[in-house]
Every structure is written in structure tokens, then in C-alpha cells.
Amino acid sequence: MGGERYLIVNADDFGLSPGVNRGVIQAHEHGIVTSASLMVRWLAAREAALYARKHPELSLGLHLDLGEWVYRAGSWAPVYTVASLGDRPAVEREVYRQVDIFRHLVDREPSHMNSHQHVHMREPVRSVVRRLCDSLGIPLRNFCPGIHYFMEFYGQTNEGEPLPAYISLDWLVDSLSALPKGWTVMVCHPGDASDLETVYRTERREEVKVLCHRQLHAAIERLGIKLCSFNDWKSLKNSCSPSVR
């Protein structure tokens, strides 16, 4: 691999809504998105899976959805809960159920795995999902040796306060210029969320604009960064000869 810099640009929330799907697809076909993570519980998941089946160059992973929380009045409140995060048997059942749905929709194994609002970072979700990813031989976000995760391209703080500078073109180019050698996964959330009740709405449209900006393409080429997918990462891992675009 030498001094090469390989970048996987992964769009979360694919399948969440038709508008999010449109944004992810636009950022793939006209931007730098090379990978996506599918939320299998939502009505737009089938549409997203169909697109991925027709476009195998877009690596597709599973975006585990165990619930969503929003920060209000100084504390976190649930928007919805799929499984109690402290109930290991319930977590395990739901995780494996969503993997089975993914297989049914996509007709292949996920290329990688992560979770909505990063709930896999805490126990008991962490050990359940790590064991599953190890058995499948796929990377789990933040737990894969040899992969650096760049998760700062996001237009809000953890508490939902606006951070527009962090989804600007200039900030992203500056950040990419400092990428380390080797493999990096950049997380993004493009989409048109006008069909969603969500606190992350206008930021999704801005992400699409930046991810598709011609100056971003030019900067990536100038910096010598190779855009790849998780399919390429797997090929390199198995044969040490990735195909890149």
C-alpha cells in the first residue's frame, strides 16, 4: 500500500425515506459517495436495496437501527425504541433480525456494519455486533484495525446545535488534505429530508451540494486520494491489489 491514501465515503441512513434515498443516489452518481449503510426497517429500504442490487459498485452495509434519541431541555429523550439497549437477548434478537432482512432485500451479506446514533459503541450492543461482524469477516465502524474513521463531516453538535462550518466545502477540503496514509472511511448523511420529521434536515441538502461540488472532485484528484468502496477494501485485504476509481 505504501504511501497511498484510500478514501471510502459512506452515506448513512440509506432507506430511511425516499428523499434520503434521492440524496444518497445523487451523491453517488454525481459526487464522491462510494458506499452506503442501509436502514432495513423503513419503507424506503426496499427502494434503496433495489438500487444497490443494480449498482454493485456501491458497497452496501447495514445501519443497525435500535432506536433514536434527541437532546431536549438538558437530557436525552427517546423518539422511538426498537430494543432496550440494556437487554442483551433483545438486542441480539433484533440485530440478527435486521441482518436477515438485509440478506432478503439485497441478496448478499453486508459489506460493513455500523449503527444509528452509534449505539454499537456501548455494551451489550458492542459485544453482540462485534461477534457478528467477526463471523462475517466485515468491518465494524470504529473497531476495525487498519481503518481510520473520519466522522466530523456533520452539521450539528451531539446536542443538536448547528455547526454549518463543518459541512462546508472549504472545511472538507482542508480536512481531506490532512488524511493519514492508508484507509479512511468518511461518514456523511446526504439527502432531502423534507419528507421526514427530523432535527437533521437542511444539513442533509447542504451535504449533497458539497459532496457533488466539482471543486471537491478536483481537490481529491490533486491530493492524490483514491476513492474506493468497502468492496475494494475487501479485495485488498484478500489479494493486496485493490481496484480503485
Is the per-residue pLDDT at 241 higher than 50? no
CATH of residue 70: 3.20.20.370
| Grid coordinates of 182 | 492508508
* Nearest in space to 52 (alpha carbons), one of 203, 231, 225, 220: 231
| Three-state helix/strand/coil letters over the chain | CCCCEEEEEEEEEECCCHHHHHHHHHHHHCCCCCEEEECCCCCCHHHHHHHHHHCCCCEEEEEECCEEEEEECCEEEEEEECCCCCCHHHHHHHHHHHHHHHHHHHCCCCCCEEEHHHHHHCCCHHHHHHHHHHHHCCCECCCCCCEEEECCCCCECCCCCECHHHHCHHHHHHHHHCCCCEEEEEEECCCCHHHCCCCCCHHHHHHHHHHCCHHHHHHHHHCCEEEECHHHHHHHHHHCCCCCC
pLDDT averaged over every residue in the chain: 94
Euclidean distance between CA atoms 219 and 222, whole angstroms: 5
Domain count, the chain: 1
Q: Of residues 245 and 195, which shows the higher confidence score?
A: 195
Q: Is 145 exposed, middle or buried (0-12, 13-18, 19+ CB in 10 A)?
A: exposed
What is residue 244's predicted lDDT score, i.e. its pLDDT?
A: 41
**Residue 23, domain member (yes or no):** yes
**Residue 244, domain member (yes or no):** no
Instruction: Kindly indicate the confidence band of residue 2, based on its pLDDT and cuts at 50, 70 and 90.
Output: low
Is the per-residue pLDDT at 243 higher than 80? no
**Residue 78, domain member (yes or no):** yes
Euclidean distance between CA atoms 161 and 229, whole angstroms: 31
42, 107, 111, 149 from 49: Cα distances, Å: 11, 9, 13, 24
Q: Of residues 215 and 158, which shows the higher confidence score?
A: 215
pLDDT tens, position by position, 171-184: 999 999 999 999 99
Is the per-residue pLDDT at 212 higher than 90? yes
**Residue 83, domain member (yes or no):** yes
**Residue 167, domain member (yes or no):** yes
Is the per-residue pLDDT at 242 higher than 90? no
**Residue 172, domain member (yes or no):** yes
**Residue 245, domain member (yes or no):** no
What is residue 196's predicted lDDT score, i.e. its pLDDT?
A: 87
Q: Of residues 105 and 77, which shows the higher confidence score?
A: 105
Instruction: Kindly indicate the confidence band of residue 238, based on its pLDDT and cuts at 50, 70 and 90.
Output: low
Whole-prediction pTM: 0.94
Q: Of residues 69 and 170, which shows the higher confidence score?
A: 170
Which residues have a Cβ under 8 Å from the Cβ of 15 and sit 6 or more positions away? 21, 38, 39, 40, 42, 44, 45, 46, 47, 48, 49, 63
Q: Of residues 93 and 239, which shows the higher confidence score?
A: 93
**Residue 175, domain member (yes or no):** yes
What average pLDDT score do residues 125-149 get? Answer: 97
67 touches 116 (CB < 8 A): yes
What average pLDDT score do residues 107-133 get? Answer: 97
What average pLDDT score do residues 15-25 get? Answer: 98
Euclidean distance between CA atoms 215 and 31, whole angstroms: 11
Domain encompassing residue 92: 5-239
Is the per-residue pLDDT at 157 higher than 80? yes
Q: What is the CA radius of gyration of the chain?
A: 17
pLDDT tens, position by position, 25-76: 999 999 999 999 999 999 999 999 999 999 999 999 999 999 999 888 788 8
Length of the chain as a residue count: 245
